[in-house]
Structure 1
Amino acid sequence: MFRLLISHFHTSVTVIKNIVIYDNFESITSKTRDAYLDMIKIFENKGVQRQGHVEFIYSALRNMKEFSVEKDLEVYKALINVLPKGKYIPTNIFQSEFMHYPKQQQCAIDLLEQMEDNAVLPDEELEKILLNTFGKRGFPLRKLWRMAYWMPKFKNLSPWPLPYPLPSSTLELAKLAVTRMSTADLQTQIRVFQTRDVPDTREDTWIVSAQSKTQRRLVSEHDTSQPMYVEGTFRIWIKNVPINYFLLRADAKCRLKPDMDLDDVSNIPVPMVSFGPSKKEVLNYTSVHEQKDGVIFAICITGTSSCDSLLSWIRHLEKDGNSSLSSIPIVFSLKTAEKEMEKVVSSIVK
């Protein structure tokens, strides 16, 4: 806590007779990027003999998410610049190896750790700032070098790249989630339905559905006396945003497989050499949708995650090449509340 006398400043702090009173980051009502940077400028204007650098940086790091600056590289640079230059540079080998000014160096390392957790890549300017603050043998600079080497390698490692920044629309996030889950079958078609197109529906929302030709064939081959299940909600994460989805599935099929080892090459029949009855057994391989715990026919994400929207999804599937669904009993087995998607929307808005 400190008090600073200035004439004009940001409206997020209290101004009384040209006196700006700063308490802490939690007391700021307007939590914006400009207000956050203004707090750093207030601390820097205390003068050369200011104290409490480490405490101020830790307080700023704790409140980054509230100001939505946890992924802003310029803000991290401004926080590092709070530390005085030249004072923490070691002058001999013993100071270098025994972590000269350990409290300040550990604070800078924690700041870099938070950058790494939020996937913020360091640049040359940040390297120069750490070099002028802790010297070329400082532990924070070593940490930055490791980040500069490894983080670009992991940045594009995921086979499902996502746009940056993420779209704020829940519908667009649902499309990204369904696209990621449906990559197991390249023939999967993703469609967007509207519940209002179904007669007698009680909701007006969207449905993102994914189904392939193989899944439609499995639906047509399904025994109409055996039920299908609509199960959910399950959760998939798009970066730090949770998305709920549902499955249309049935129990696993019982297949009688011949007692043979496909990797056994000790007894391979040679044509025109080995006489006798030929083997005519054909092993039908299962598709990727036929798992040990069940057969998956389709997946979907709805705007409300309600039972009524899922019923509209089934009706849309009937019109979309799954006419046999009308004669198959379908059991809805839902495990979470219907309004859980509203929590997802609120988390995106924040």
Structure 2
Amino acid sequence: MAYIAEQQSALGAPHLRPEHLAVFACAMGDNVISYGGHLRMMAAIQPFFSGAMSKTVNVPAETTVDEVEQLLIDAWQMGIKCVALYRDNCKVGQPLSTGKQTIDLPAELVAAKPVREKLPRSRSSRTFEFRVADCKGFVTVGEYEDGRPGELFIRVSKQGSTLAGIMDAFAISVSHGLQYGVPLKAFIHAFVGMRFEPAGITDDPEVRLANSLIDYLFRRLALDYLTYPERLDLGVLGTDERLQQTLPGVEEHAVGSSPGLDLASSATEADRNFVETTSAEPSVSDSPLGQAVDAPLCMQCGIQMTRAGSCYVCSACGSTSGCS
């Protein structure tokens, strides 16, 4: 059985005598039943039928016209009322076909090794100075010919300190990641929002507050190398981009107040009392909206959050501290 399952045939099977091969003959294949065998079987049961039999006489594709003629004569002589003949491969598509099928086994999945895309020997670079709280430094970004960042050098004040060494090692790891195909957007998504000292106000007009050096550096890289839709998806926007944009063709006009207009002159006594009562109360817009010195910075955009009840909310991107 193992041989037949592998070879799809009984021919050549071990321990099978040649005189026994006829037992394993089939309608199609390499060990087929002759057309005479089909006819003799039909002739044996034809006397018990008043009509024809729904039985196909299968013949191989090499059958000649003379053999077909002899088949029909033999069927007539045996008293068979009808013969349905089918020659192998006579149709483009047939319900039954033979032949050994080559089974394509799935190839072993081999993970492709990462390929390092080194920068050219002479390349362009961009250097910018930064200051986060009391920490100053420089960042140099080496670029490919198409403008993509490919390497990162970070120099912070107080060279030789632990912070400087950690930043050098971090820059080397990011450079290797960029050259081995890690998208810059993936780095920005991972590192923007990290919070540790030094943190605070920066000298960058587009990134006014930073949660850490890493947070500032990748916000700056996002503003320099990512498109606006990509930065909008990551929640990294510049100062000007956070401002609400006016609709095209709509101009903003300041509504002037009329100091001589007395709203209470035409009101009833109840309305006059209501106006006087509400005007004496401080308006919400005049008072700070829960602004506190110890309010946390937004984890999404870095703007200082404002208190909203028992929580904090960011006025720039709408993020909350998690309880509202």
TM class, shorter-length: under 0.3
TM-score by length of 1: 0.21
- With normalisation by structure 2, the TM-score equals 0.22
Please say which structure displays the higher CA radius of gyration: 2
